A and B are shown apart, each in its own frame.
Chain A
């Protein structure tokens, strides 16, 4: 089956959200997705994008008027490590179930790794749920290190409410 990778465009926003929700469903977290198409459009295709996306589409389905269907994507942005410099952060990476096994995922990862190197990033970072065995193995086979397991790193988060409290100056 022919597929091609390309940079996402504003018209892809509905498909991006669809795939975000499909991945969340796969992780049994579907009700956690609060992002809207409007936010995705503003945040990804405005003057200062917060994220970038690469899309995988195949020919022959009639989902879109031009005969293409978006079947996979990766959402990424650039981060910084003060010791070793630029990093590429892979926020989201998903290929629809029925289109797996065709090499689309590997090709997306290859494309991103190549981009990381061209941008002089020294690493590519991402998180994986520990109970997502297939994904953990997919990444480990490709040489990824589990920093949480190997070095004890834990990701911490202030959500909106606690962020508001944190932003309030402390009384001295």
Chain B
């Protein structure tokens, strides 16, 4: 099946919001999604964007029954390592289920779950990508890597949930390493009341 990958533009925000919500709905945690299409437009496509996106699109003849041709995306932003310099962070990687395929040699496609920092309290899967025969998920990730290198980045970071063995194995086989396991780094967050409290004089 043919597909193309290109940079997201402001008109894609409707589909990006749809795909973010799709996944959340599938996991029955759509109430966690507070970001709207308008937020995405403002936050991703104004003078100082907080994120960038790439979209996977299929031709008209392969559109979904609801008429969608935009069937996958990745969200990323540039970050910085005080030890190594420029870095790229892959926040989201998603391909709609019907565009995950069977491997060319006939093996059932392996569903790889790629995590993002918008985690669900119940630790459910946040977004899924099938890195198999159709290769759309892998192509999206490869594109993020290319963009990172072009911008002078020395590393690509992302997070994965520890119970997700198939993803952990897949990523490790791709040549990345588990920073949390190897260096003992824990991801921490201050939000809500704790953040407000910290901000008080």
| Contact assessment for A152 and B91 in the assembled complex, using a CB-CB cutoff below 8 Å | no
Is B8 close to A, CB under 8 A?
no
The answer for the CA separation of A77 and B81 in the assembled complex, in Å, is: 11
User: Is A157's beta carbon under 8 Å from chain B?
Assistant: yes
How far apart are the CA atoms of A162 and B141 in the complex, in Å? 13
- Are the C-beta atoms of A89 and B176 separated by less than 8 Å? no
Question: Of A7-15, A54-62, A63-71, A115-123, which stretch is located at the interface?
Answer: A115-123
> With the chains together, A110 CA to B197 CA distance in Å?
9
Q: Are B118 and A75 in contact (CB under 8 A)?
A: no
| Cross-chain contact A79 with B79 (CB below 8 angstroms) | yes
Binary contact track B76-98/A, C-beta < 8 Å → 1, others 0: 01111111111001011000000
Residue of B nearest to A135 (CB): B188
B156 touching A152, Cβ below 8 Å: no
CB contact list, B80-124 vs A, under 8 A: 80-86, 89, 91-92, 104, 115-119, 121, 123
How far, in angstroms, from A113 to B201 measured CA to CA in the complex? 11
B155 neighbours in A (Cβ, 8 Å): 157-160, 163
Given contacts A159-B155, A159-B177, contact A149 B186 (CB under 8 A): yes
Report the interface size class on chain B.
35 or more
Interface residues of A in 126-172 (CB under 8 A from B): 126-131, 136, 139, 142-149, 151-170, 172
> Min CB distance, B149 to chain A, in Å?
5
Least CB separation from B148: chain A residue: A163
Say yes or no: A109 contacts B198, CB within 8 Å: yes
Contacting pair B186 A113 (CB below 8 A): no
Give Cα A155–Cα B161 distance, bound, in whole angstroms.
9
Question: Do A154 and B183 touch (CB < 8 A)?
Answer: no
- Count of A-B contacts with CB under 8 A? 273
Contact between chains at A153 and B118 (CB < 8 Å): no
**B residues near A29, Cβ cutoff 8 Å:** 83
Q: Does B35 contact A (CB under 8 A)?
A: yes
- Contact (Cβ within 8 A) B117 A81: yes
Q: Measured between alpha carbons, how far is A80 from B32 in the docked complex, in Å?
A: 15
For B30, the closest partner residue in chain A by CB is A83
A91 contacts B80, CB within 8 Å? yes
Contact of A148 among B82, B171, B180 (CB under 8 A): B180
Check if B35 sits within 8 Å of A110, measured CB to CB.
Answer: no
Q: When the two chains form the complex, which single residue of A34, A144, A151, A170 contacts B194, counting CB atoms closer than 8 Å?
A: A144
Which chain B residue shows the least CB distance to A166?
Answer: B145
Q: Which of B145, B171, B187 contacts A163 (CB 8 A)?
A: B145
Q: Closest residue to A87 on the B side, CB-wise? A: B117
Please tell me which one of the listed residues A79, A143, A160 contacts residue B50 in the complex, with CB atoms under 8 A apart. Answer: A79
The answer to whether B142 has its CB under 8 Å from any CB of chain A is: yes
B121 to chain A, nearest CB (A): 7
Binding site for B on A (CB under 8 A): 20, 23-24, 29, 32-35, 39, 43, 50-51, 75, 77-87, 89, 91-92, 109-110, 113-114, 116-117, 122-131, 136, 139, 142-149, 151-170, 172
- 6 closest pairs, A vs B, by CB? A143-B194, A162-B175, A83-B118, A123-B191, A113-B198, A167-B145
Q: A147-B119, A167-B145 are in contact. List 7 more A-B contacts (CB 8 A).
A: A39-B85, A50-B79, A123-B189, A152-B163, A154-B179, A158-B176, A165-B174
